[in-house]
Amino acid sequence: MTLEETFYLSQTIASVAVVGSLVYLGLQVRYAERAQRGIMQQGRADRTAHAALTLAQGGLSSIWHRGAAGDTSLTRDEFAQWMLLCRSAFLSGEDSFMQHKAGLLSDAAFASYVAGVRYYMSTPGLRAAWQVGSAQFGREFVEFVNGELARAPLVAPPDAYELWKARVREATAPAP
């Protein structure tokens, strides 16, 4: 084998190694992106579950329901609790909005968030809380929420408790 043939053979081997390395790198980047999206979704789910468990404690669930309904008989302390609960929800929403904008939150997960915005922001108390506290958030997020408010009708969402009881009665009713 001549020196020239050896050179060409080594260049061929090096080219194959580079292509193999690029394929491997591409697979690793793809895996890392999926792992990152999974971590972001898990964080979002943990944050939402934590918020739900917080609301389930003590009298916070009562304050949440009364605040959402726009019950103006809330005391100053209850109002402060209500606004802190809303701020927490709005911060979580802003995080979901920013993650989606950055490409870290899937369209399906963001659609789920938007459905929640439309559901909860249909109540007078949350709309009022947003109007009181929206100055604490970034311009793009404020524009997004205000746009959703314009699309969401101001109506009381269905009474989940009564709906649940009706479904239980249906599930336990004797078969015809």
User: What is the residue extent of each domain of the chain?
Assistant: 39-172
Measured distance CA(18)–CA(54) in Å, rounded: 53
Measured distance CA(96)–CA(46) in Å, rounded: 13
Q: From the centroid of its chain, how far is CA 121?
A: 15
**Nearest one of 121, 99, 116 to 44, comparing CA atoms:** 99
Would you call 65 exposed, middle or buried from its count of C-beta atoms within 10 A (0-12, 13-18, 19+)?
middle
Going from the C-alpha of 115 to that of each of 78, 96, 118, 165, the distances in angstroms are 27, 13, 5, 23
**Least confidently predicted of 100-104, 137-141, 172-176:** 172-176
Q: Which residue has the higher pLDDT, 129 or 11?
A: 129
Q: Which residue has the higher pLDDT, 163 or 152?
A: 163
Would you call 172 exposed, middle or buried from its count of C-beta atoms within 10 A (0-12, 13-18, 19+)?
exposed
Task: Check residue 37 and give its pLDDT.
Answer: 65
Taking residues 39-56, report their average pLDDT.
Answer: 72
